[in-house]
Each structure stands twice: as C-alpha cells, then as structure tokens.
Amino acid sequence: MNTQTSLILFKPDAIEKNLAGTVLARFQDAGFRIRGIKMMQLDHAILADHYSHIADKPFFPEIVEFMSKTPVIALALEGENVIAVVRDLLGPTDSQAAPKGTIRGDFGVDKMVNVCHASDSPEAAEAELKRFFREGELFA
C-alpha cells in the first residue's frame, strides 16, 4: 500500500464560484479521506514561501495578488497514491489544455485560474502540509 497525504488548496476562483463542495465531493468519491481542512487568508510571507521556486519570475506579483484576493481552503487529503490520483483528477495545470471530465477542464480558466493547487510529490506534500497546517491540525 502507498498511503499518502497531499495538500490541496482551493484557489480564489473555486471560492468565488462556490465550487469547493463540488470539487471536494470528487475527491471523496475517489475514496480519499479528509485529515484536515480550514479556510485561511494567505499573506505575502506564506505565498513567498509556497512559491519560492518562482518568486524571481515577472509574473510572481500577479500570483500573489490572485492568491490573496479571497481566503482559500487548505485541505489535507489522505489515501492510496493520493498525490498522483488527485493530479489526474485535476488535469493539466493549464485549464485550457485540460480535458472535460477533469476538474480543471470542467471549471478552470487558464494556468493560474485553475481551481486547485495540489502537491506534486511526497516531498512537496510534506513541506506544504507543514506550511499550511500547524501541529495538532491534522487528524488520523
């Protein structure tokens, strides 16, 4: 068994379009369990940490503006191969290239306005979960 926990962030477009329940249902229908969930307003410090790999890019300020536009929902999701399966359910990062039937294909707009962020590896998931959930906020 390859039980993992992944971080998913419901981005501002998911919040504004009231898609959180619909998307969460897709994850739960796939057999995944919630280990933690909370709504939070992201500030520049957490966004600079989360997006440190692209903080030097000219589009970084646009990402910060978008991701701090509304609160987001942070979700810790657990299950068998959850990291790969969630990314398959989401579809490609670019919503315009995502097939219908995927979350981004059904609800996304482009590369940034694409409903959710999801961890892309076990190492990223570990770091991201620590970034968005404090000790005692994840449950078995």
d(CA 103, CA 92): 10
**For residue 116, what are its two tokens?**
């959710």
Q: How many residues are recorded in the chain?
A: 140
Please answer whether residues 73 and 37 qualify as being in contact, where contact means their C-beta atoms are separated by less than 8 angstroms.
Answer: yes
* Nearest-angstrom CA–CA distance, 68 and 84: 27
- Per annotation, catalytic residue among 44, 50, 53, 117: 117
Is 44 one of the catalytic residues?
no
CB-based burial label for 50 (10 Å; 0-12, 13-18, 19+): buried
d(CA 54, CA 24): 28
**Pair of tokens at residue 30:** 């796939």
Q: Which residues are catalytic?
A: 117
